[in-house]
Structure 1
């Protein structure tokens, strides 16, 4: 009995000693810290709203649990969180400059479209030791190519991908538009029923480029050649590019889209318009289906559906595939490993499930029931016509110039030809500087 008392006392002491590391969720997940403030190791993680600060309550709660469970397994670590603003282009440019000067956070979300710039700058730390070969082999080819350096090492984990689709209110637009002409007619018809027409990003925002460029790709156009040189302003590419720009221009000039699209640079605007009942059509991301379900009541949500983006003809279709990565900039191997653990244990699968973000590993589609639903099967099918942004160093500047060009065109400030010529000239100048 005396031995049992000794053991019981030891166990009780252990419980007391471990109690700080078994703090409740409110202590472990705060607005700017995950883990205990007195944990001996600290990692700074700059993140998007793909985390506990997500603006959708259910998603935020899901992430809170993921991070809480994760940090309980790593009680000697605290994560200082820094939240990026919605200006992704500016945020990523700032992150790259900080990385070049040695002032970047230990771990950060890097948008897939700028990952080539980070790789070229040599600021990323290798994740190769922390992911199994079979995990890497399951990545979709364009994903695997995107995160792999010229030396064959893994320099980030690209955990989510997405695509753009056309959302519509079936009560207002019963049939899915198949072509550009169909979409214009649907937009005008919705205006006649009191709606404001088709909504899409048209402001200074990466989404403006990425949502629109599918119209160029659907015609077989290329932004850059195999060497990474801009070619969208030359020959057949230019003709296709101008045609795609004029498609958006005609939507606005005809009244099928409101003039305010020239100032929209946030997908949340579309959710708000759907909730307010002011639009019946918008170009958005696959993740917005879950947001609409959370935002609208059941009766209103039942009116909404999605379909592939229309093309110049029904047979010419494309859609952009993007997504986020997690990468490390730390000189401390322990922090690099911990950053990789965040990518692996939180984002590689669990976060996809919580947020409904499409996985980048083929085998995960069978692991999580959410990705076996009819909706996600439809998204997966649409991905077959998906295209990722080119892994060229000049792409961010091409995108910037397209955003500027779109503002000039949608507001009628310049002719399409002049705006396209200016965008191409500025992109070529950037390419020459980067060579």
Structure 2
């Protein structure tokens, strides 16, 4: 079976087997309910696929056990699972509106990049009573800042983080590119060997903004000031911003990246291209290494490795750090406590381990052996220059405008500087409306 056929087969089998495997492994998980149907108390939990409905049968079963054990430890409760669609931005916006009108779920997965909007709206319940100071102190600084409100209370538990790296096929590209120029040369060299060049997200997708921002942050650029006002279109920041956008544009215009990157908005596309043998270089997330291992034959996977994202120079490097939080909108204290317990007992550590999603607590890198291996140590080193999206309410609109701008630039329908200025003007207008 070819790698591509094997990947398609795996995806098909996963889609069919995940619900069945979960139901068989955990008899207290029926449909979208965890726990006995006649339980006196119900917690509604809106979630991503980080749970018993994961498309990977093995992960679904492991999550099923975590949820089953959780309910066993909390008698009298059941959990109603509400699954989000793949359009995370739309899902989060809808949930915010529901929270404002008092119709949100009791507990939910909130993407770290929109958490500031939920905090500003005042719809989140405090988790401070449910986590010890020592636990909070172990959070990475950018995580601790992200979940803390102006009143010093903790309003979510940010349980996983990630980062972006440059993946490459070592047989095609021997050494990891350190700079933008080296990246372009490596990508063009891969094209000469029949590959389609470097792949990256360039469509209307949050990943497009976040993956690209590392180039701008590496130059020392800032998106907003201390008041949360956009400043990326002013002075030195504008010059750095234009330079980083021009880098992506040049990759496409030179043929180092295919024109189709302007329509890519899904990391799965990179896995598929690697399995099909059509690319030797792509910008992806740390979690994709395990996905590649599962999708490729062992001899093919052995050809792949990763390195830190290149910068304008070797010393101008950064990477985006994101991740998911668990937060509560519940109207009663017992449900807030139950949501905090879910964050603690399922996601804070256990879920990190089974999915190899990087923990947000520094002490977990020694507590869990899996995060002490050479691969995760390398990811940890890359995190040293990591940067989270700014905790400013205007960020989602800045991201939206960057996505629109990138579409114009990558397709060549508008000059780079004009597209940047339009994105900046629209972001400023959005800030004024807040």
| Structure 2 length-normalised TM | 0.93
Kept in 1: contact 2:165–2:308 (CA 8 A): yes
2:204 pairs with 1:207: no
Aligned to 1:191: 191
Kept in 2: contact 1:328–1:336 (CA 8 A): yes
Q: Mean alpha-carbon deviation: is it higher for 263-272 or for 206-215?
A: 263-272
Aligned to 1:314: 314
Aligned to 2:147: 147
Consecutive unaligned residues of structure 2, counting only runs of 5 or more, are 1-22
Aligned to 1:15: none
Instruction: Tell me the secondary structure at the aligned position of residue 80 of structure 1.
Output: strand
Aligned to 1:62: 62
Q: Partners in 2 of 1:34 and 1:273 — Cα distance?
A: 37
Q: Partners in 1 of 2:255 and 2:272 — Cα distance?
A: 21
CA displacement 1:207-241 (0-9 Å, x = unmatched): 00000000001100000011111000111100100
Instruction: Tell me the secondary structure at the aligned position of residue 113 of structure 1.
Output: coil
Aligned to 1:428: 428
In the TM superposition, structure 1's runs of 4+ consecutive aligned residues that sit over 3 Å from their partners are: 23-26
Q: Partners in 1 of 2:71 and 2:271 — Cα distance?
A: 33
Q: Partners in 1 of 2:321 and 2:26 — Cα distance?
A: 36
CA displacement 1:370-408 (0-9 Å, x = unmatched): 100100000001000001111111001000000011011
Q: Mean alpha-carbon deviation: is it higher for 119-128 or for 185-194?
A: 185-194
Q: Partners in 2 of 1:204 and 1:115 — Cα distance?
A: 20
Instruction: Tell me the secondary structure at the aligned position of residue 46 of structure 1.
Output: strand
Consecutive unaligned residues of structure 1, counting only runs of 5 or more, are 1-22
Instruction: Tell me the secondary structure at the aligned position of residue 27 of structure 2.
Output: helix
Instruction: Tell me the secondary structure at the aligned position of residue 98 of structure 1.
Output: helix
Instruction: Tell me the secondary structure at the aligned position of residue 199 of structure 1.
Output: coil
Kept in 1: contact 2:26–2:68 (CA 8 A): no
Aligned to 1:13: none
Give the superposed CA RMSD. 1.2
CA displacement 1:350-372 (0-9 Å, x = unmatched): 00001111101111111101100
Instruction: Tell me the secondary structure at the aligned position of residue 168 of structure 1.
Output: strand
Q: Partners in 2 of 1:59 and 1:243 — Cα distance?
A: 42
| Structure 1 length-normalised TM | 0.93
2:93 pairs with 1:93: yes
CA displacement 1:115-148 (0-9 Å, x = unmatched): 1111110000011111111111111111111111
Aligned to 2:390: 390
Kept in 2: contact 1:188–1:255 (CA 8 A): yes
Kept in 2: contact 1:56–1:291 (CA 8 A): no
Aligned to 2:302: 302
CA displacement 1:1-26 (0-9 Å, x = unmatched): xxxxxxxxxxxxxxxxxxxxxx9744
CA displacement 1:137-191 (0-9 Å, x = unmatched): 1111111111111111110000011110001111111110010011111111111
2:369 pairs with 1:366: no
Kept in 2: contact 1:25–1:68 (CA 8 A): no
Q: Partners in 1 of 2:175 and 2:31 — Cα distance?
A: 44
2:29 pairs with 1:37: no
Aligned to 1:7: none
Aligned length: 412
- Mapping of residues 239-278 of structure 1, within 5 Å: 239-278=239-278
Q: Partners in 1 of 2:374 and 2:323 — Cα distance?
A: 22
Q: Partners in 2 of 1:57 and 1:172 — Cα distance?
A: 33
1:31, distance to aligned residue in structure 2 (A): 4.3
Q: Partners in 1 of 2:347 and 2:154 — Cα distance?
A: 16
Q: Partners in 2 of 1:407 and 1:325 — Cα distance?
A: 29
1:44, distance to aligned residue in structure 2 (A): 0.9
2:157 pairs with 1:161: no
